[in-house]
């Protein structure tokens, strides 16, 4: 913990610098970073396995129709289809992400459907039409979750589950040491991905504020996981962000159920 306290001012300075110098980089390189195959021991792959495991604990994938909201380059959709999902519908607002997703999922024929849309708009699916929804590392880009949670509830069948993965509210408070935990607000930070620091802007909110929109929409909380990416992960010493994840969870995984 002492090391984290010492690192705070350095990380805050790096964040400020990364935003000033490189804020264009994240968008430009985002799709190609997400589109590539990740090493088996990478942070992305470790998280991906935990996310798929969390989903499978609650839903039998066989014969499942899944929705991947903000599905990016389709890496989760691909996993679901390989693991037996009947059909996966994926939407995302980014043209670059979608074009990678569409070519990646071509091999699955009409079991994969992709389209461009904003999560903040009505989902172009019938009521009660999907068995599960994945929304991985997307909601921290969005201020208002109420409408999105209500739309997820509408398109989900009874008994279905939503898996939401988003930035853990403790992460940036511990990581950057600035900004109160309780206040929802837009914050800036940087992510280490693809071997580079990439500046991002995201919405911080406390755990309660993450749960409230889903509870108001009618969901029950089936699971909450704070993935421990512990010391088992061998990280290069210069990768400060990933080394810190042995002390606190970078993400939180929620599983919500529609009864």
Ligand X SMILES: C[S@@+](CC[C@H](N)C(=O)[O-])C[C@H]1O[C@@H](n2cnc3c(N)ncnc32)[C@H](O)[C@@H]1O
Verify binding: residue 132, ligand X, rule CB under 6 A.
no
Q: Which two tokens stand for residue 195?
A: 């071997």
Q: How far is the CB of 77 from ligand X (least distance, A)?
A: 9
Q: Which two tokens stand for residue 72?
A: 């990016």
Looking at the Cβ atoms of 141 and 147, the one nearer to ligand X is: 141
Which of 81, 119, 167, 252 binds ligand X (CB under 6 A)? It is 119
* Rounded distance between C-alpha atoms, residue 45 and residue 53, angstroms: 12
Verify binding: residue 33, ligand X, rule CB under 6 A.
no
Looking at the Cβ atoms of 34 and 190, the one nearer to ligand X is: 34
Verify binding: residue 227, ligand X, rule CB under 6 A.
no
Which of 26, 46, 70, 123 binds ligand X (CB under 6 A)? It is 70
Q: How far is the CB of 206 from ligand X (least distance, A)?
A: 21
Measured CA to CA in angstroms, residue 41 lies from 32, 46, 145, 146, 234 at distances of: 19, 6, 32, 35, 8
Stretch that binds ligand X, among 58-66, 71-79, 166-174, 225-233 (CB under 6 A): 71-79
Which of 46, 114, 131, 137 binds ligand X (CB under 6 A)? It is 137
Verify binding: residue 34, ligand X, rule CB under 6 A.
yes
DSSP output for 50-93: HHHHHHHTT---BT-EEEEET-TTSHHHHHHHHTTBSEEEEEES
Which of 138, 156, 162, 167 binds ligand X (CB under 6 A)? It is 138
Verify binding: residue 52, ligand X, rule CB under 6 A.
no
* Rounded distance between C-alpha atoms, residue 110 and residue 64, angstroms: 14
Q: Residue 195 — left, alpha, or beta (φ > 0 → left; ψ -120 to 50 → alpha)?
A: left
Looking at the Cβ atoms of 9 and 226, the one nearer to ligand X is: 226
Q: Find the binding residues for ligand X in span 184-203 (CB under 6 A).
A: none
Identify the sign of the CA torsion 178, 182, 186, 190. Answer: positive
Q: Which two tokens stand for residue 163?
A: 């898996």
Binding site for ligand X (CB under 6 A): 34, 70-72, 75-76, 92-94, 97, 118-120, 136-138, 141-142
């Amino acid at each position: 913990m002492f090391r984290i306290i010492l690192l705070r001012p350095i990380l805050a300075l790096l964040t400020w610098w990364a935003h000033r110098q490189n804020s264009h980089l994240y968008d430009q390189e985002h799709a190609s970073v997400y589109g590539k195959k990740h090493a088996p021991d990478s942070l992305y792959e470790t998280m991906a396995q935990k996310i798929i495991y969390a989903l499978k604990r609650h839903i039998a994938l066989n014969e499942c129709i899944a929705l991947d909201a903000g599905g990016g380059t389709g890496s989760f959709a691909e996993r679901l289809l390989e693991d037996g999902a009947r059909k996966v519908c994926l939407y995302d607002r980014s043209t670059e992400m979608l074009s990678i997703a569409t070519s990646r999922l071509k091999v699955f024929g009409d079991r994969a459907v992709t389209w461009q849309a904003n999560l903040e708009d009505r989902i172009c699916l019938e009521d009660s039409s999907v068995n599960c929804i994945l929304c991985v590392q997307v909601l921290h880009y969005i201020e208002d979750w109420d409408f999105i949670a209500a739309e997820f509830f509408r398109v989900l069948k009874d008994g279905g589950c939503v898996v939401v993965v988003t930035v853990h509210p403790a992460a940036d408070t511990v990581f950057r040491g600035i900004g109160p935990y309780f206040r929802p607000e837009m914050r800036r930070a940087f992510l280490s991905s693809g071997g580079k620091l990439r500046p991002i802007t995201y919405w911080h909110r406390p755990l309660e504020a993450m749960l409230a929109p889903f509870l108001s929409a009618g969901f029950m909380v089936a699971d909450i996981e704070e993935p421990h990416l512990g010391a088992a992960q061998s990280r290069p010493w210069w990768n400060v962000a990933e080394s810190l994840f042995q002390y606190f969870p970078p993400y939180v995984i929620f599983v919500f159920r529609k009864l």
